[in-house]
Structure 1
Amino acid sequence: MSSPPSSRIRWRRGEVTALGRGGHDSLELTVAVPEDGEVRALAYPSLVGVPQVGDTVLLNTTAWAQNLGTGGYALVVAVPDRLPADPTGPGHLVKARYTPLQVTVQGVDEQDTEHHATMAEADSLDGMPVVVADLHSALPAVLIGALATDPDLKVAYVMTDGGALAAGFSRTIDALHKSLAGVVTVGQAFGGDVEAVTVHTGLLAARHVLGADLAIVTQGPGNLGTGTPWGFSGVAAGEACNAVTVLGGVPVGALRISDADPRPRHRGVSHHSLTAFGRVALGGVTLVAPRGLGSELGSQVDEDLAGQPARNPVVWVDTDGLEDALSLSPVPLRTMGRGMPEERAYFLAAAAAGRYAALAVPVDADGAAEPAP
């Protein structure tokens, strides 16, 4: 008789000793675990209820034990002695499908929603610009660049499922929520203001349900990369560009640029951008490079982008005023553990993409952004 397979989850049971920061759908905890001592933990109240001091909680400590940066929490799987009430609201979309933690949500594109008729007829983005980025950390800079250019624009965020699946994990979303028309979680991601099955319906929902003038697409927090040419979750950025093209939108690429990353593959224009936009986005994407990088890095970026296919025009955008706008960000600007001073080029590139997209929003005869139908 063969032995049973070993667990792929590091399970622990502990007692909540303190409550910490709460977000839109997240609550930080300190949990005393006999085997591990004091553990930093995170609960999603919409899934497990609201833990209290003294509660026994069941934890998944797999990521915590690996000391991961973005995802280094123990995650509360259940509060077994005080289970939340059964769900009573509408919704038939199952996300995190066929895992022990699958969750049911109401999708904007399912039959029982008030938006089903709109989504059934929607087939075009009507020329809406969509900024596509590799990393979640680009989101605030893109938004700042867009709103610094036109503060009246309605901007939606479409969160894909390459990183964290729970929108509640993102402190960035919490900080930016009042500046966004809404958050759409697509694929296996969940917890947005609007849920959608695919990137395509997510984009259409951003335009026709949230009334967005402009959308930003990127994965949730936590990029996965392997140091191989194709083994990184940001490949999906190219597929998102294809969805924008198919739906009659204008894809705009936010380049991942760095002169601070110690890894050669990410210096200048990252191979993630060159691969996703240059080899996966077959319908073409406008690549935005920021002016003001300095002669050495600017020349490197120019050289890196020279090999892009003809379908990907490169546009250098003026960045006057963008650094001042970025300095007022409501959320700390950090990527790969580095902030704005070290990664100035990265955040400036994302803001420049937001500026370019804002200037590309279709306008009506009175000079206002075209409203969604």
Structure 2
Amino acid sequence: MMWRKGTVLSLGKAWGEAMECRVKIDGETEAKALAYTSLVGRPEVGDTVLLSAAAAARKLGTGGYLMIVAIPERLPADPEPAPGHIVKARYTPLQYMTMGADEQESPWHDALRDADSLDGMPVIVADLHSAVPAVVAAIRARKPEAKIAYIMDDGGALPVWFSQICARLTELGHILGTITARQAFGGELETVNIHTALLAAHLVWDADVAVVSQGPGNLGTGTKWGFSGTAVGEAINAVNTLEGEAIALLRMSSADARDRHFGLSHHSVTSLSRVALSPALCAVPEFAEQDELSGLISEPVRGLLGSQLTRLFECERLTRCDISTAGLTRALQDSPVKLSTMGRGLEADPLAFLAAGVAGYAACELF
């Protein structure tokens, strides 16, 4: 933990429960900071703030932000008494108390108490948070009135408030909102685990389709098993346990400089063939000649991808579903949220977004 004391110089953009600030640290250096207003209150120019600086100092995945931990001279008032006894980020200094959709004080407790089935609801399971807006854009291109629930697991960011994607898609009504599962928090619905999150999407929101991924800031160590995306396999097991239809979004890239992620990522291979112990439908892009982005996928990339997919589908639990990319370029370009993965946009890494889009197309065939 690296502590810093700063002074708020100016306020920047805000989305949902997040607000950017410009701060001066220890009276010298200026830096960008982020406040979660539900936790620490709303910063004002001139405020003294306590900051967590370790991740920013190491240039890790916090978007370059120092995080505001407290505004000590102007603490927010205690919230009004409200139901709920679920604690997220438990036993950390910023543990957050909320009401879980599945807990005893919830108005949905009776509906969820004995719930045990998704009744075939399709669930798209993705590794990266950046795939979510591409999936949503593809679904809405085929079915504009689709009711889409997003479930954020705790493999990346814990507060959903960090995600500008979720804030914007919810504001526009393109998704019903976010359900935060396990230690993740801040969603329109909160749940104890991925199972109750799926059931809440089905029974509380009556969703047509759910999309599951970790939040921003996935973790990987460059080892076979050391990555947070193993949760993909666990989520697929949960979907099948609850009688849903699991659709695996294959993580692909035509631009990643790392061999383990070029073409078909080893994250998808490991999660689907080793962690998932139950079936999944795997949407594979079938590159349409008239699709602009598909034309950017070179023959060498297509050849490599073909051999990688052949090996993947040696796993008999996985069902290959080739989906045409026709119309995807326009659907993805029309996304109200800027599409970017690892800093690369649509034309820089078209395969990543085509893979996400065909997963959305595949789900549309199931509701």
By the TM > 0.5 criterion, same fold? yes
Structure 1 residue 24 and structure 2 residue 16: aligned? yes
- 1:57 shift after superposition: 0.6
The partner residue of 1:280 within 267, 275, 279 is 275
2:56·2:62 contact (CA, 8 Å) conserved in 1? no
- Within the candidate set 295, 315, 319, 1:313 is matched to 319
Q: Which runs of 5+ in 2 are unaligned?
A: 288-293
> Aligned partner of 1:303: which letter?
S
Tell me the equivalent position of 1:367: none
Tell me if structure 1 keeps the 8 A contact 2:55–2:61: no
Query: Which residue matches 1:303?
Result: 307
Aligned-partner Cα distance in 2 for 1:329–1:68: 28
- Does residue 359 (structure 1) correspond to residue 352 (structure 2)? The answer is no
TM superposition shift of 1:36: 5.9
The share of aligned pairs that are identical, in percent, is 50
Alpha-carbon distance in structure 2 between the residues aligned to 1:29 and 1:59: 12
Does residue 263 (structure 1) correspond to residue 269 (structure 2)? The answer is no
Contact 1:131–1:254 (CA under 8 A) maintained in structure 2: yes
- Does the alignment pair 1:226 with 2:221? yes
Amino acid at match of 1:192: G
Shift of 1:148: 1.0
Give the Cα–Cα distance (whole angstroms) in 2 for the partners of residues 35 and 67 of structure 1. Answer: 22
1:109 and 1:124, CA in 2 relative to 1: closer, same or farther beyond 3 A?
A: same
Question: Gaps (5+ residues) in structure 1?
Answer: 1-8, 362-373
Residue number in structure 2 paired with 1:371: none
SS at match of 2:77: coil
Q: Is the 8 A contact 2:55 2:62 kept in 1?
A: no
Q: In structure 2, which of residues 244, 247, 250 is the aligned counterpart of residue 252 of structure 1?
A: 247
Any residues of structure 2 matched to 1:340-359 within 5 Å, and which?
340-359=346-365
Q: Which amino acid aligns with 2:358?
A: A
CA deviation string 1:334-362 (max 9, x = no partner): 1111111111000011010011011112x
Match 2:196 to one of 198, 201, 204: 201
Residue type at the aligned position of 1:195:
E
CA contact (8 A) 1:149 1:359 kept: no
Looking at structure 1, the residues matched to 60 and 277 of structure 2 have their Cα atoms a distance apart, in angstroms, of 34
**1:112-261 counterparts in 2 under 5 A?**
112-177=105-170, 178-261=173-256
Question: SS at the partner of 1:306?
Answer: helix
Counterparts of 1:245 and 1:70 in 2: how far apart (Å)? Answer: 33
- How much has 1:68 moved relative to structure 2? 2.7
Aligned equivalents of 1:299, 1:159: Cα separation in 2:
34
For residues 226 and 28 of structure 2, the distance between their equivalents in structure 1, rounded to whole angstroms, comes to: 33
| Cα offset, 1:301, TM superposition | 2.0
Give the drift of 1:141: 0.5
Decide whether the 8 Å contact of 1:158 with 1:202 is kept in 2: yes
Match of 1:332 in 2: 338
Q: Would the aligned equivalents of 1:224 and 1:233 in 2 still touch at CA under 8 Å? A: yes
- Give the superposition deviation at 1:269: 0.3
> C-alpha displacement at 1:167, in angstroms?
0.5
Cα distance in 1 for partners of 2:112, 2:284 equals 35
Ranges of 4+ aligned residues in structure 1 off by more than 6 Å: none
Q: Give the CA deviation at 1:69.
A: 4.5
Q: C-alpha displacement at 1:13, in angstroms?
A: 0.8
Local SS of the residue matching 1:325? helix
Alpha-carbon contact 1:182-1:193 (below 8 Å) kept:
yes
Q: Give the secondary-structure state (helix, strand or coil) at the position aligned to 2:157.
A: coil
